[in-house]
Amino acid sequence: MKSRRSFFAVSLPCVIGIVALLSAGTAIAAGPQHAILYSFTGLSDGGSPMAGLILDSTGALYGTGESGGNYDSCNEGGACGVVFKLTPPSQGRGVWSESVLYEFQYQDPYPPNSNLVFDPAGNIYGATAGGGTFLYQLSEPSGTWTLNSVYGSGTYGTVASPILDKQGNLYTTVEFTPQSRPTFNNGMVLELTPQSNGSCTQTTLYAFAGGNDGSGPTGGVIADPAGNLYGTTVGGGSGSQCGTVFQLSRVNGVWTETVLHVFTGSDGCFPYAGVIRDSKGNLYGTTYNGGVGVCSNQCGVVFELSPPAVKGGEWTESTLHTFTNNDGANPFAGLAMDSAGSLYGTTPRGGNGPCEPKGIGCGTVFRLTPPSKTGGVWSHIFYSFQGPEGSGPYGNLVLDQSKGAAYGTTLGGGAKGFGTVFQFTR
């Protein structure tokens, strides 16, 4: 795991989603410094970044744009999106430089819309949202990045960013089950095992039935040190069909699902993103809707799930924050956590920005700080985008411990309206 690009652990036992840690009191503290690192033009440099970023050991950032790229080789004069790299300046206050690693072609699966993941060899994995949704690998065997298809679902939907174990196996979620299994159309958790000829063997660890067990896993999975997998479903569960948080455990070679929590609406609804896990085994995540507040469909929540004190007991769900639109609305991405236990995230809507339609807001970046005493209230601070510096941050934040910085993307806004890469520093 000493690749020049491998800044964070990607092995199965690690905590995926907490890609780097900040020291206490950093990032969006009082008086944060906000900067636009890059503003996309929507042309050959790409544009409309839906997903968040990843970070390598040199401090470079990698991400995807759903638009832009080569207009002559995609969709009869269109553009299918890009994978890009932002390289920091050699001097601290210089300009970041953007380079395109890969322009998606018409024959490729496209557009790219997921977070990226490095493997120990420096290959990049990501997913696309087009017909026959794909998981792809980008490799650089001879100085040029080449795309290889790892998995194709055969249907529309979301394939999440994978995690990798020490053997190089990939684990991901598929929102809709492939057309080859039409009677199971509620999604699945998938393992992909690389073969010597470059192909992957597919194993379905769990196929959702669409009832109490959940439906539509869109957020991927994480793993604990014991190898148990955790994720969310955006639908299913009993009652309100607001989704679930689940655990998959392997017993005698068979993977078994346990539903840890069913959302009811007042405690959240529609968790599009997955969860992150702290050292005590608590899980944290967001829901796009739900909560109790002034929003017409409710503006979503940040939640915590705590494991039972006794094995086999019930997990406890706590709502850490309910969004009110003024302070953000409809969190779509997952969270990041610093070493002090503060949580960082984005909302694509809400805040006091002037974006249309009127009152919807341009989105926010937020931090939730845990209380000093058990049972206290988490404090919430946020930054509202105004449009020129970006709007609609749909992706998660990535934190850099060495610089005390948080990085993210906006889908729109910026100088040309095709989104930005931004930075908050302490």
Domain boundaries, the chain: 33-97+223-425
Degrees to nearest 5, angle at CA 417 with 414 and 421: 40
What's the topology of domain 33-97+223-425?
Tachylectin-2; Chain A (2.115.10)
Looking at residue 185, its pLDDT comes to 78
pLDDT number for residue 194: 83
Q: Provide the pLDDT for residue 386.
A: 95
CA distance 19 to 401: 10
pTM: 0.90
125: closest CA among 84, 151, 158, 161? 161
Question: E strands of 210-253, at which residues?
Answer: 221-223, 229-233, 244-251
Q: Which residue has the tokens 């494991």?
A: 307
At residue 329, the pLDDT reads 95
Average pLDDT across each block of 10 residues of the chain; the chain has 426 residues. List them in order: 29 28 35 86 95 95 94 75 95 88 88 92 89 83 88 77 92 75 74 82 92 94 96 92 96 94 95 97 97 82 96 93 95 96 96 87 96 88 94 97 92 96 91
pLDDT of residue 25: 31
> How much is the pLDDT for 17?
31
**Cα 367 to Cα 36, 100, 256, 308, 416, distances in angstroms:** 19, 31, 35, 27, 28
pLDDT value of position 278: 97
- Rounded alpha-carbon distances, angstroms, from residue 315 to 97, 147, 270: 46, 42, 19
Q: Nearest 5°: CA angle at 276, between 275 and 277?
A: 125
For residue 102, give the H/E element and its range.
strand 97-103
Query: What's the rounded Cα separation, in Å, for the pair 305 and 272?
Result: 16
- Residue 107 has what pLDDT? 83
- What is the structure's pLDDT at 261? 97
